[in-house]
A = this chain, B = another copy of it.
């Protein structure tokens, strides 16, 4: 049994501002001749924070607004911070976000614009996590830990509910879901719902070769940490998997695969050219996985969760123009 259950996920859904729910799910036929499989997109970018993370922070902030401390801190690669800032502002919470100073400038700017206090660290997301934990201890405020805190997984899991609900009426039911794998909230959340409501659908987690800690851990069935991060997919770039999240992932993921930076860039380009979507690197991981293993997906119907679109445009243009 994982830490997640369907009743709590359904309860979580009721705490989320509907603006983040029932996101578009549609087939993108223009991608199909290129990828040689049926591709549906679950689009999590058409909302005020341009990523799926608010599904989780809405739950966190709703509970805090009712019962908890009014001040909260999180470490973030940039999207969780924006989402917590948005959800916290809506409920009068005081939000502090700790991020790497190397995070995309646009993510940092949005965190500030949404009224959060932003603290930058001279390191990666793991440094930010340590600093956020220290701040929480020192100030006695609530620490939100992505993927460890159940609310973040339950919020993400509501994507799984929407996928499962779409299955019976789909002209062509999908047989695999591709999810970006970082800390694991999205993968365990979606995986939990899919495995309980549509166990025949394969749940495949995708991570960059340059930040493979959780994928290696999944294959080794024990926590494997890495020394450094080397990927443009800033949103999924951790080095220290959380044991409890790995335990859950072992129960709900059918596979975890690694993809190259080149495939991530190709994935971003294909989503631009054939779907008209600007996406951040993490959101192209699913397409990258198809590119890297066309045989596996040939003729199948695959859903990929397009989980964020917060990119610095200069970098984005370089990536999609890379041949």
Contact = CB atoms under 8 A, between A and B. Distances in A.
A50 interface: yes
A5 interface: no
A50 B113 CA distance: 30
B47 A26 contact: yes
A46 B48 contact: no
A278 B50 CA distance: 14
A124 B26 CA distance: 32
Interface stretch (A189-197, A214-222, A306-314): A306-314
A168 interface: no
B47 A24 contact: yes
A113 B29 contact: yes
Contact of A46 (B26, B110, B311): B26
A150 to B, nearest CB: 26
A293 interface: no
16 contacts: A19-B25, A19-B26, A23-B24, A26-B46, A26-B47, A26-B48, A27-B48, A28-B48, A29-B113, A30-B110, A30-B113, A45-B276, A50-B276, A272-B313, A277-B278, A278-B278
Interface of A: 19, 22-30, 41, 43, 45-48, 50, 110, 113-114, 272-273, 276-278, 309-311, 313
